[in-house]
Structure 1
Amino acid sequence: MKILSLLLLTIIIGTSCSSQKANDMTATQMEYSAVSRGFYKKIIVENKTVSVINGKNTEPVKTKISDAKWKQIETEFLKIDVEKIPTLKAPTEKRFYDGAAIGNLKVIQNQKTYETQGFDNGYPPKEIEKLVNLLVDFTKE
């Protein structure tokens, strides 16, 4: 009987932790921006909604994110250690000579902000590459 109750308690604790991570995702804001001379793009994802801004003085275009797309974003986000985001290294350096816009990923979670160092738009650090590509896909729709 003790083994059964211990097993049941372990399952309950395990499921509550995974649902807590999912709840954290609804309170998480992700912001991707790409900026250079003459180019401005900002994508803000929060609670199954995306806002896309294409140009400095343009209004954001807001749309709902489908459940399937949200699940993809959630899956990729949960693979990332947000504490390490500020230390990620860019794989290329085209932005140093105007060869690419400066990309940046900012995550706001639990009232803390985690922001990458600048990287070349289109060439994010491999640790966040899949997530950034999912966010950038919203500008193609």
Structure 2
Amino acid sequence: MMNIQLILFNIILATSATNCMHKNNSENNTQNISSAVQQQKIQQIRLTERTRGFSRDIVFTPSSKESNINEEITTTKISPAEWQMVSRLAQTIDLSKISDLKAPTEGRHSDRAMIASIIITAGGKEYTSSEFDSGRPPKELEALYKAINGPVTTKIP
């Protein structure tokens, strides 16, 4: 009787150990995929903000920053350090989940705020954030949003 119990215990222990190893391997594969997405080269970062009668796009590339405010386009060169800072902030975001980020406020649904989103191009693929109120991004995008906007933000006329 004792031998049967010992055999059953060993079978249960071996089965649970195998299940745990399989689960850990699945989690590691998911983490590796997310890490691979993060390691892709960031090619462009774009902030769009819109409401009735007003639009604003800011596009960062490795060599320039283009601002388009109501079809008035301004292009300026940026330093490699500035691009590196902005692209590193983008790399801290899980791009595969950027569209699922929850906005902290809902003013854009009733014209109390501009509708904003961030689009990151990495590895030839675009990753678009969920929409959020201008000036109030999801916390995961906050540092990048502030870096894109710079020290001065544009107000609706």
Task: Give the TM interval when normalised to the shorter protein.
Answer: 0.7 to 0.9
Letter in 2 for 1:24: K
How many percent of aligned residue pairs carry the same amino acid?
31
Partner of 1:13: none
Query: What is the 5 A alignment of 1:55-94?
Result: 55=70, 57-58=71-72, 60-94=73-107
Do structure 1's residue 33 and structure 2's residue 48 form an aligned pair? yes
Q: How does 1:97-108 map to 2 (within 5 A)?
A: 97-108=110-121
Which residue of structure 1 lines up, in the alignment, with residue 57 of structure 2? 42
Hey, what does 2:41 align to over in structure 1? 24
Q: Which runs of 5+ in 2 are unaligned?
A: 1-38
Shift of 1:71: 3.1
Q: TM-score, normalised by structure 1?
A: 0.74
Report how far residue 48 of structure 1 moved: 2.9
Amino acid at match of 2:125: K
How many matched pairs? 116
The answer to whether the Cα contact below 8 Å between 2:60 and 2:83 also exists between their aligned partners in 1 is no
119, 133, 143: which is aligned to 1:120? 133
Bigger Rg, structure 1 or 2: 2
Per-residue deviation, 1:140: 5.0
Higher helix share: 2
Residues 52 and 138 of structure 1, relative CA distance in 2, 3 Å threshold: farther
The two structures have a TM-score, normalised by structure 2, of 0.67
Deviation at 1:29, TM superposition (A): 1.0
5 Å matches for 1:9-20? none
Q: Any conservation in 1 of the 2:49–2:114 contact (CA below 8 Å)?
A: yes
Shift of 1:138: 7.5
Cα deviation code 1:63-99 (max 9, x no counterpart): 1113442232133122111111111110100111111
Deviations 1:42-63 (A, max 9, x none): 00111131100011x32x2111
